Amino acid sequence: MCKTTALPVNQNGGELKGVRGQMLTYTADPFIATDESKCYQYLDDGLIVIQDGIMIDVGDYKDIAPKYPQLKNVDQYQDAVILPGFIDCHVHYVQSPMIGSFGDTLLSWLNQYTFPTESKFKDKAFADNVAKVFFRQLLEQGTTTANVFATTFAESVDAFFEESERYNTRMISGKVLQDRNLPDSLKDESAEESITLTEQLLKKWHHRGRQLYAIVPRFAPTSTDKQLALAGELYQRYIDQGVYMHTHLDEAYGELAWVNQLFPDAKNYTDVYKKYGLVDNHSIMAHCCLVREDEWQTLHDCDCGVAHCPSSNLFLGDGEFKYWEAKNPRRPVRTGMGTDVGGGTNFSIPRQLNEAYKVAMLQMKNLDALKSFYLATRGGAEALHLEKTIGSLAPGYEADIAVLDLKPSEFVEWRMQFATSIFDKLFILQTLALDTMNKATYVAGNKVFDRVRDKKFMYAADFTSPEKA
């Protein structure tokens, strides 16, 4: 397994912590490997040793445990699968209050539900409250990193990162840039002002603890050429520091027609962003349902990441993502999963895998659990260019962990007796898709969510002063 440089992400005085049980992690991309059985490591009885928020050793319990006689604090899981924490590559926390709004196609859904809801985030107290609820949903579902849209207002960004800091989660977010074709209550005052504010927020939050900043033009139709140009300039100035660019691309037919009308000179939708310097190696494109071959080639050449958001695509009746095109071995594109809440209908990455399988089946392909759980973990980390930091259970990685319950209900427990391999079991979990399937979530080594603990959610500070717990 690959090693990375281990910087403490959680100072706990060097005390060791262990997590023991059946575990699965990926080491390579099974979509492009010649032998997919070499892409993962499965341990029947594994042990992860954690120090200062970093995994310092991972392997068979019988080999690892004797090396750490001082290790006393071990959480042991039976009838569960320990995985890297899930990664949500595209989600709008500000849409949590309108998830499940009765449907329409993308553009009228934005006008009818999304924009009025997002307009409320100028109010910091409102934003704080939504951020709190959102983090609980993510952590309950075993998601430990997400690439998250805030909205126009600085308040929405601060509320998000402040809550992330409380859990010490590794999160990516940023102010949304949008200066045309939306209500005044949500519109940026001017392109210049929006970029100045973005740079202030970037300086405040990027690399503060585990937080990372993204420059976020909502999508081409809601930014003027001037705003896109300034956003591209800013991105190019900060890309070497690991700042992201996050936007929507080729999601729905109505959107594509609008983009063609607004940008008649562009070769294609990707080219609209490319012209402004927005397509580069930290660019994350959500949806990509209607991407054409020349665009896939550009996304590959520029080393972009894409987020597959099937529950949203089904809910909004968009196009269908084609993973076999994204993962064409001649020019593979970094791909992870996204919930796209509130277009998506739940916060669970395994439940997105259920929908991804069905989206593939509708196109006469399929998607097995070996590949789908890769997308949920290491694939997501690759899409975010964080594959040396998160998304794997291996020495040197940040200790972000999900623990899936193989007995989340009486029926699933009964059904599991007929399953043999780990991938059969995971496929059953993703297909029967209960919101209660995640038992526990670790962030930087702290068990911030535990389904059966009295206090289900705990902030990082609760672990340094346990009397507060």
Token readout for 60 is 């068979």
Residue 287 vs 378, nearer CB to Zn ion: 287
Identify the three-state secondary structure at position 401: strand
Residue 343 vs 408, nearer CB to ligand GUN: 343
Residue 117 vs 137, nearer CB to ligand GUN: 117
318 binds Zn ion (CB under 5 A): no
Per DSSP, 385 falls in state T
**Contact partner, 322, from Zn ion, ligand GUN, none, Cβ < 5-8 Å per class:** none
295 binds Zn ion (CB under 5 A): no
Options 76-84, 171-179, 334-342, 393-401: segment touching Zn ion (CB under 5 A): 334-342
382 binds Zn ion (CB under 5 A): no
Q: 32 to 51, contacts with Zn ion by CB under 5 A?
A: none
Q: Letter for the amino acid at 12?
A: N
Residue 85 vs 343, nearer CB to ligand GUN: 343
Options 96-104, 235-243, 338-346, 422-430: segment touching Zn ion (CB under 5 A): 338-346
Per DSSP, the residues of 216-264 read EE--GGGS-HHHHHHHHHHHHHHGGGT-EEEEEES--HHHHHHHHHH-T
Token readout for 337 is 């999963």
Residue 458 CA: distances (Å) to CA of 180, 279, 443, 446: 41, 38, 10, 9
Q: Which residue is associated with the tokens 């934003």?
A: 127
Nearest-CB residue for ligand GUN: 343
Instruction: Tell me how far, at minimum, the Cβ of 106 lies from ligand GUN, in Å.
Output: 6
Q: Which of 286, 385, 287, 288 is closest to 334 using CA atoms?
A: 385
**Contact partner, 219, from Zn ion, ligand GUN, none, Cβ < 5-8 Å per class:** ligand GUN
**Contact partner, 106, from ligand GUN, Zn ion, none, Cβ < 5-8 Å per class:** ligand GUN
Residue 147 vs 441, nearer CB to Zn ion: 147
Residue 118 vs 340, nearer CB to Zn ion: 340
User: What residues make contact with ligand GUN under the rule CB under 6 A?
Assistant: 92, 106, 110, 114, 218-219, 248, 251, 312, 340, 343
Which listed residue (340, 387, 398, 405) binds Zn ion by CB under 5 A? 340
Q: Alpha-carbon torsion 116, 122, 125, 127, what sign?
A: positive
- Which residues, 6 or more positions from 153, have their beta carbon under 8 angstroms from its beta carbon? 121, 122, 127, 175
Residues recorded for the chain: 469
Q: Which residue is associated with the tokens 């007995």?
A: 407
Options 67-75, 215-223, 261-269, 283-291: segment touching Zn ion (CB under 5 A): 283-291
Instruction: Tell me how far, at minimum, the Cβ of 90 lies from ligand GUN, in Å.
Output: 8
Nearest-CB residue for Zn ion: 340
- Report the b/e string of 225-242 with b at 16+ CB within 10 A: ebbbbbbbebbeebbeee
User: Could you list the residues that contact Zn ion (CB under 5 A)?
Assistant: 286, 340
